[in-house]
Structure formats: structure tokens, C-alpha cells
Amino acid sequence: MAKLWGGRFQKNTDKKVDDFNSSIRFDKRMYAQDIKGSMAHAEMLGKQNVIAKEDSDKIIAGLKELLAEIEAGKVSFDIDAEDIHMNIEKLLTEKISDAGKRLHTGRSRNDQVALDIRMYLMDEEEEIRKMLVHLCEVLIELAEQNTETIMPGYTHLQKAQPITFAHHLMAYFEMFMRDISRLDDCRKRTDVMPLGSGALAATTYPLDREFVAEKLGFSAVTQNSLDGVSDRDFVIELAGVLSIIMMHLSRFCEELILWSSHEFSFVEMDDAFSTGSSIMPQKKNPDVAELIRGKTGRVYGHLMGLLTTMKGLPLAYNKDMQEDKEPIFDAIDTVKLCVPVFCDMIATMKINKETMEKGAKGGFTNATDLADYLVKKGMPFREAHSVVGKMVFYCVENSRNLEDLSLDMMKEFSEIIEDDIYDAISMQTCVNERNIIGGPAKETVLAAIEEAKKRINL
């Protein structure tokens, strides 16, 4: 097939090169953005009298028809036409002949692809944002049901201090809220219109770039034509944002996998979100959580791949940049696959409240509170730390919990201990006394949840 750029060539491209060079396999997913961008460009060319108004109208009508045909599944793309941009132009020209040939006036595929990918990513950012908002809503709902579900908090994966499951869930709420804000921030830098940059040095035609930007809903136009076609920061940034989203999902999944083990038994994934073993009849595996954790690696890989692709590229456009699409598309697909399944998995899992609370009780999670009790009675903290350390040692040796010691026994360690100690070191007190902003106390978490509901509606 004759190439759109074939004039200068005496020979056809090698068949292998046609396949090698072609990106239509994966960039066809930008067909709607390509067509929308071309419509705005054509309208502007007509308005500026760069092409006849009549041709501009024909182009727009032709593109509209083509969009409907693609959407109806009536169009098959041609690998010889290389990419989505030339496929659309070719199909348009087949439809409206000469007018179609005027569409590419004052434009290069270099600024065209920059436009398409920005538009495509902005659409996807919107979708992912919605999914994250839903995830935050699920977390809030679960948290609301668990403000009294006491569980052990860990550092170094060693029991540390008691918290509630609601508090733990709301920690993830904060993480995903930051992801939303990172997504919004990244979108600001994606939301810049590059058309008019031409191949690299803009154009001699009197293009109205601002008109095109407004038509397409962009907030600004790029300010340097070289940068306009060379910039893929926004792709890398999105891959970074997606990597962080996956990292957050993966950390939570790691916890759920751990908590699903017989040793923890804090949660049990619903049957609908677990799988069995082909050999061991007793098994119920948290595959979904594992797979999300596993898929995190491929998203990180894409981020690294994109950074590496861009690191050695001289200005301006280089064909290497065609390699930006598959990684960012796959990173987007992966996040869009993981977030909804994660939401449903956590919404349906069984929470073993009693086991959680039992877990909080063992392991001296109230030792800090015992020390604080002594401090409130006048003992310096460092001294109290040492006294309680000795009590813990005694309990370890005698397989007891701190709250199981009799008052007489306690007094052996410190005379100032009275019988109000049992209430002071109960799990409920330990949690509910921590009522400063950010703490796990029931009233504090309830207030945080109310605040969260307002924040999510932003």
C-alpha cells in the first residue's frame, strides 16, 4: 500500500518493517481522542481560512461518521497505515477524498500524538479517580462498623499498642485520598494542549491554538514547540501515581493475606474472593489479594521502563517515544482491574472481631499505658518504663498478662499502684484515652469519619 509519506521513497517498506514500525495494535484505543482532536483542528483551519470552510465542514462531518462506524465495530484498521493517526486520515480520505487530504495542514503526527495521549490520559485519570473515590467510600463504611473493633497495632510486626480496625482502615483512607490528590495534580500538567507545535518548530500557518484548546476543554496551551512534542513527563508522572496507588493496595493486601492465615485469623475472605487448591482439599487461598500484590510489580516495571525510554532522547520527537503507550496503557488497565476487585473483596470479607480483640490482649500492648498510669501518679517516665519492663519480664516468665496480676503482686513492683489500675490498662481505656487528633479513640475516629465524608465530596 502507498504510504501517506511515500513521495520521497523509491521502494516499499520491508514487510517486517511495516509490522515492526506499526503501533496500530495498541494505539487504536486512542481513536476517539484522535478524531475529536482532528475535528477541532479542522474547525480551526476553516475559521482561520487556512482551508476552505466547505472543506472544514466536510472533514468534520466525515470524522463524525467515521467515529460512529468505529464505535459500531464496522471499521478494521490497517497495519500498513502504521498508527491510529494515519489510519483515521486514510479512512477519512477514502470517504471524502480531496477535503480529507487537507486535514493534516499545519499539523504533524508529533504534535498530534502528543495531543491524543494527553486527552486519553485525562479521560482515564477521571475514571481512576472515580474508582478511588468509591474505594474511599467503602473504607469509610467499613470503618463506621468497626470503631469498637479492638485489634493489636504493630511496629516491626510485633504487637505494639491496641487500636481499632476502624483506625487501621482510616489510615488507608488517608493514603488513597493522597492518591486522589496526586492524580489531580498530575492531571494539571496533562491538561496542556500541544497542537501547533508541529513537527518541532511550530508552523507558518496562522493557527489559533487557544481556540483548539478551548474546543477540546484544555486549560492552557504548551509554550514551547520543542517541548510540546518532546514532553512525556505527564506519562511518567501518571505511571508514578499509579505505582503509588498499587503500593498502597499491595500493603493492604499483604496485611489481609497475613491476617487470613490460621495463625492470625483476623479476617476471612468471602468464598467468592478466594480459591482452592487442586491437591489440598482444605485450602482456601487469598488469591485475589496475592494477585493485586503481584501486579504491583508490573506497574512499577512500567514506571521504570518509561523513565529509561526517555532518559537518552535528544530533542525533539524520536520514534522511541512510541514505546510510551503500551506501558502506560497496561499500568492504567492494571489499576482499573485491581481497584474494583479490591473494593468488593474488602466489602465482603468476614472480620473476626473477637480474635482481633484477643490478639490485642496478648503481647502486653497495654504496657505503655501502665507506664503512663505510673507517670500520672507522679513517677518520672524513664523510671516508670523500667518498672513496667520488670513487670513484663515477670509476666513473660510466668505466662501471664499484665492485667492478670493481683493488686498485691503489682504493688511488689510499685507501691503507688492502686486498684484503679485494672480499668486504666483495659484495652478499651488504652484505645479511648488516645483521643487527640489522629488518635484511635472511638470518638476521635467517629469525628475523623465525619470529616472524611466531607472531604470525599470535594
Binding site for ligand ARG (CB under 6 A): 23, 27, 83, 109-110, 113, 317, 319, 321-322
Nearest alpha carbon to residue 115 among 15, 211, 221? 221
Residue 209 cell numbers, joined: 491554538
Cβ proximity of 223 and 231 under 8 Å: no
DSSP strand E in 222-351: where? 267-268, 350-351
To the nearest whole angstrom, how small is the minimum distance from the Cβ of residue 315 to ligand ARG? Answer: 14
Residue 223 cell numbers, joined: 509554550
Nearer Cβ to ligand ARG, position 40 or 328?
328
* Residue 152 parent element (H or E): strand 150-155
Q: Would you call 4 helix, strand, or coil by DSSP?
A: coil
Sign of CA dihedral 37, 43, 48, 49: positive
List alpha helices for 191-286, DSSP H.
209-216, 225-230, 233-260
Residue 210 cell numbers, joined: 487557544
Sign of CA dihedral 247, 252, 254, 255: positive
Q: Among this protein's residues, is 386 annotated catalytic? A: no
Cβ proximity of 186 and 179 under 8 Å: no
Name the burial class of residue 215, with classes exposed (0-12), middle (13-18) and buried (19+) by CB atoms within 10 angstroms of its CB. Answer: middle
Catalytic pick from 76, 156, 262, 399? 156
359: Cα separation from own chain's centroid: 32
* Residue 221 parent element (H or E): strand 220-221
Cβ proximity of 183 and 132 under 8 Å: yes
Nearer Cβ to ligand ARG, position 27 or 357?
27
Nearer Cβ to ligand ARG, position 28 or 101?
28
DSSP state of 3: -
Block residue for cell numbers 490478639: 359
Catalytic pick from 181, 219, 261, 277? 277
Give the CA diameter of the chain: 102
To the nearest whole angstrom, how small is the minimum distance from the Cβ of residue 154 to ligand ARG? Answer: 47
Query: What's the CA gap between 416 and 407, in Å, rounded?
Result: 11
Degrees, nearest 5: CA angle 191-197-198: 135
Nearer Cβ to ligand ARG, position 198 or 286?
198
- Return the exposure string of 319-358: e unless at least 16 CB atoms fall within 10 Å of the residue's CB, then b: eebbbbbebbbbbbebbeebbeebbebbeebebbbebbbb
Cβ proximity of 454 and 448 under 8 Å: no
Q: Among this protein's residues, is 260 annotated catalytic? A: no
Query: What's the CA gap between 217 and 100, in Å, rounded?
Result: 24
Name the burial class of residue 411, with classes exposed (0-12), middle (13-18) and buried (19+) by CB atoms within 10 angstroms of its CB. Answer: middle
Nearer Cβ to ligand ARG, position 238 or 427?
238
Which residues are part of the catalytic machinery? 156, 277
